[in-house]
A and B are shown apart, each in its own frame.
Chain A
Amino acid sequence: MKFDTIIIGGGLSGLACGIKLAESGKRCAIISTGQSALHFCSGSFDFLGYVNGFDVETPASTLEKVIPQGHPYALMGAKRAVEVAAVVPEFFARMGVKVNGSIERNHYRITPLGIMKPTWLSLDDFTVIADKNKLPWAKVSIQNIEGFLDFHTAFIADNFEKMGTTCTITAFNLPELKHLRTNPTEMRSANLAKTFENVDVVKRAAELINRNAGDAEAVVLPAVFGLFDDKAVQELKRAVKLPVCFVPVIPPSVPGIRTQIMMRRRFQELGGTYLLGDTVNDAVVADGVVKSVKTANLGDTVLEADNFVLATGSFFSHGLVAHPDKVVEPLFGVDVKADADRDNWYNSSLFEEQPYMSYGVIVDDSFRTATGGNTISNLYAAGAVLSSFNPIKEASGAGVSLITALHVADLIINKK
């Protein structure tokens, strides 16, 4: 089978790259070993949240001053990174994913524990908060679903009170939700969201929420609405009389899964082929060019393409594999940046910067990989598999995934 581009990895980066290519009429396939890290997504996308431990207020203007050499943003140039970032909201809007925020100024998102973190874009479900130390409400009603263990109301209240917001904590219940509790360990966010796909259940939940809210200025609810699209979110916001402030819960993340579903849908509607649950197990590389790959499921079917994109993610998704004495990229064995001495991989102080976090595939300024220093001219890398950035310390994970993916897509589109 022949494609223009084959993308290995079906998460945020692989999908963004595939959609952009498909939008310009390219025939693409995405091969994904199982589902992606979007299932653990906070509902927000970070571009650059911290520099040296301090919050970044204006990512666009800060980036140019602080970006270290070799950083994925630096490889394309800070100006170009900001330029790509500026079109992301529109890119998402084309697949029905509504986001708020701007590359000119970060806002704050609320974590599952009720702490504020700087971020770039947030899904429309979530409240965009401007001030790190103050919520827009003097009093909120935090409401859980009875028996749901992945929404930690007491922590949230504790942290909200520190910011001067008074909190009340209650829980609501409905027969449909009680039914899910037959098996308390399986009362998970996604199963709740599936129950809330029924508009009638949402409406009845909203009635209870309204009744519980008392004299609060807003209600704080777990983000377990809208799995396949955002209809349940819209319906809930319409039916609840006060502003709704969603707080993300312990994974799986309903807004994240929805984003994955909507991105995949967009890719397939544009004619893309998405192979889920399949793994590349063989590749033919000759004269610095990848000719074809084979997969576990498709067996002897040869998958050919002009270009290949490695969007396999980091250690978690086996895009990188740590052996006792080395870190490797397992599919093509391309060059990886990692310290040769294992003792230098970690910092024994857990909360300090961990060197292994910035290990990854080495690329040139056209995001092309290499083996033994020799460039593979049609094998690009994008997203978390890249080296020289620290998604946690910088709060840059989603940004690097999206921006490098869209940049690589442009490089492929404009290739002669």
Chain B
Amino acid sequence: MIKDTFNISDNNFEQCLKCTVCTVYCPVAAVKPEYPGPKQSGPDGERLRLKNPDFYDEALKYCLNCKRCEVACPHDVKIGDIIQAARIKYSKKKPGLREMMLANTDIMGQMATTFSPVVNLSLGLKPVKAVLDGVMKIDGHRTFPKYASQKFESWFKKTAQASQAQYKNRVSFFHGCYINYNYPQLGKDFVKAMTAVGYGVQLLEKEKCCGVALISNGLIDQAKKQAELNIHSIRRSVAEAGIPVVGASSTCVFTMRDEYPHLLGVDNADVRDGINLATRFLYSLVDSGKVRLAFRDDYKLHLAYHTACHMEKMGWAIYSISALRLIPGVKLTVLDSQCCGIAGTYGFKKENYPTSQAIGDSLFKKIEALAPDYVVTDCETCKWQIEMSTSVPVKHPISIIADALDVEKTIELNRR
């Protein structure tokens, strides 16, 4: 209503009244003063850029796109969107080989899973790391996530697909690159949990990387192509077949729901509500009484939930937290919501490494002091960052639920 009356732009740019609240919650500004902060980079800078594009400042590349400024804004100004849109529109810096490599998760993943033993070994070798660090400017402290020998899709088609027909309810699983190439176990856990409550899992007609890394590395045309392909597949599932699409990664889901229309201009209005997150989908089923879960008596763990930035932006941590609280043997500590510093490929770049670690520092200290059995988070890159920077292993909430589930009892409870 307010927007219709007073605004001319979609990002609520005109609603900024310079209150400075966003600057408090920017994880970058406090540790990297070269970054002009969300207020200056966003609405303030936009005023100047609208006058003359030469006012564009390349320092906007230091923005993590965490969107915590937007969560803090009392007037719903899409500060993060303004900044990312400015990068897309005005930046003259062309993506290099490193950006191509980091952003093309599909091509890299396809190659790497094929030769996974060699790739995993060599990515861990000192000379390779030295080349990555020295030549490619990918920081030597980073460890690339290991590549799986068998893709999730291959496993699914070979092992699980045939048995899915027996379920009356269906979901289309957007597995994303991480599950497909690096960590198929999470996909298997998802299938285990869904089938236990009577939901069969299917793959999308076609799936490409959601494109988040392409967007942040400036490969916009390619991102747009992939977005269009994904939305086409999603439309086939959601609009034509009435089957919801569910993803496990908070960032993939966020990107497809919000970044596609806001940054890439790919319209998803007809299917946006049909793109869901695994924990939200499952918890909503439980909360509305449609399914029931039974858990093992012997499952006893202390877990610490970490709210990833895009999870905070979506406002959906409540679902993951509520789902974990269903497990009787779990003692759950909810960590204060803050950025871990990795922000996808951002933290892999050599020039960002110190910033990345400084941002996450207080989180790592809190985790170490708490010493839980696992940190739990819906984001895979948070997992890499926290595992690299603390001694605590990290799991996805769906994996926790799948482990804790008394499968036979759950199947029994949901049989009608």
Residues of chain A having any CB pair with chain B under 8 Å: 1, 33-36, 39-40, 179-183, 185-188, 190-191, 194-195, 197, 251-252, 257, 265, 268, 273, 275-279, 295, 297-301, 316-318, 321, 323, 330
Contact = CB atoms under 8 A, between A and B. Distances in A.
Given A180-B33, A183-B35, A190-B30, A275 B315 contact: yes
B114 interface: no
Interface in B293-318: 312-316, 318
- Interface on chain A toward B: helix, strand, loop, or mixed SS? loop
B23 A190 contact: yes
Contacts of A295: 315
B24 interface: yes
Given A181-B33, A194-B30, A33 B76 contact: yes
Contacts of A197: 362
Interface string B29-41: 1100111110010
Contacts of A1: 287, 318, 322
A190 B72 CA distance: 14
A251 B24 CA distance: 10
A277 B313 contact: yes
Interface in B32-87: 33-37, 40, 70-76
Contacts of A187: 33
Interface residues of B, number: 37
Contacts of B318: 1, 273, 275, 298
B31 to A, nearest CB: 8
Contacts of A185: 36-37, 40
Contacts of B35: 183, 186
Contact of A277 (B19, B20, B72, B336): B72
B273 interface: yes
Given A36-B74, A182-B34, A188-B24, 13 more contacts: A34-B71, A34-B76, A39-B24, A40-B19, A186-B37, A187-B33, A188-B23, A188-B37, A252-B21, A277-B71, A298-B316, A301-B284, A321-B2
Contact of A186 (B25, B29, B315): B29
A60 B163 CA distance: 74
A138 B315 CA distance: 53
B194 to A, nearest CB: 19
29 contacts: A1-B287, A1-B322, A33-B74, A33-B76, A34-B21, A34-B74, A35-B21, A35-B74, A180-B33, A183-B34, A185-B36, A186-B23, A188-B23, A188-B24, A188-B37, A191-B30, A251-B20, A252-B21, A252-B24, A257-B24, A265-B336, A277-B313, A297-B316, A298-B315, A298-B318, A299-B273, A300-B273, A317-B74, A321-B2
Contacts of A179: 33
Contacts of B314: 297
B334 interface: yes
Contacts of A180: 33
Nearest to B40: A185
Contacts of B241: none
Contact of A183 (B2, B33, B336): B33
A122 B30 CA distance: 28
Contacts of B313: 277
B369 interface: no
A185 B287 CA distance: 48
Contacts of B284: 301
Contacts of A33: 74, 76
A195 B72 contact: no
B125 interface: no
Contact of B72 (A34, A297, A298): A34
Contacts of A330: 1
Contacts of A257: 24
Interface in B1-18: 1-2, 5
A183 B57 CA distance: 13
Interface of B: 1-2, 5, 19-21, 23-25, 29-30, 33-37, 40, 70-76, 273, 284, 287, 312-316, 318, 322, 334, 336, 362
A221 to B, nearest CB: 20
B71 A190 contact: no
A176 to B, nearest CB: 11
A252 B23 CA distance: 9
Q: Which of A273, A276, A277, A316 counts the most chain B CB atoms within 10 A?
A: A277
Closest 9 CB pairs of A and B: A297-B315, A277-B71, A34-B74, A182-B33, A190-B24, A194-B30, A186-B37, A183-B33, A278-B315
B74 A186 contact: no
Contacts of B29: 186, 191
A183 B33 CA distance: 6
A252 B376 CA distance: 33
Contact of B315 (A182, A183, A190, A277): A277
Contacts of A181: 33
Contacts of A316: 74
Contacts of A183: 33-37
B344 to A, nearest CB: 20
A15 to B, nearest CB: 15
A299 B258 CA distance: 14
Nearest to A295: B315
Contacts of B71: 34, 276-277
Nearest to A181: B33
A252 B20 contact: yes
A353 to B, nearest CB: 23
A251 B19 contact: yes
Contacts of B21: 34-35, 39, 252
B286 to A, nearest CB: 11
A34 B336 CA distance: 16
Contacts of B25: 35
Contact of B75 (A34, A182, A186, A265): A34
Q: Which of B20, B314, B336 counts the most chain A CB atoms within 10 A?
A: B20
Contact of A39 (B1, B19, B312): B19
A279 B76 contact: yes
A318 B1 CA distance: 12
B59 to A, nearest CB: 9
A1 B288 CA distance: 8
Q: Which of B29, B71, B315 counts the most chain A CB atoms within 10 A?
A: B315
A79 to B, nearest CB: 35
B165 to A, nearest CB: 28
A385 to B, nearest CB: 14
B150 to A, nearest CB: 36
B40 A277 contact: no
A301 to B, nearest CB: 6
A134 B304 CA distance: 52
A317 B362 CA distance: 31
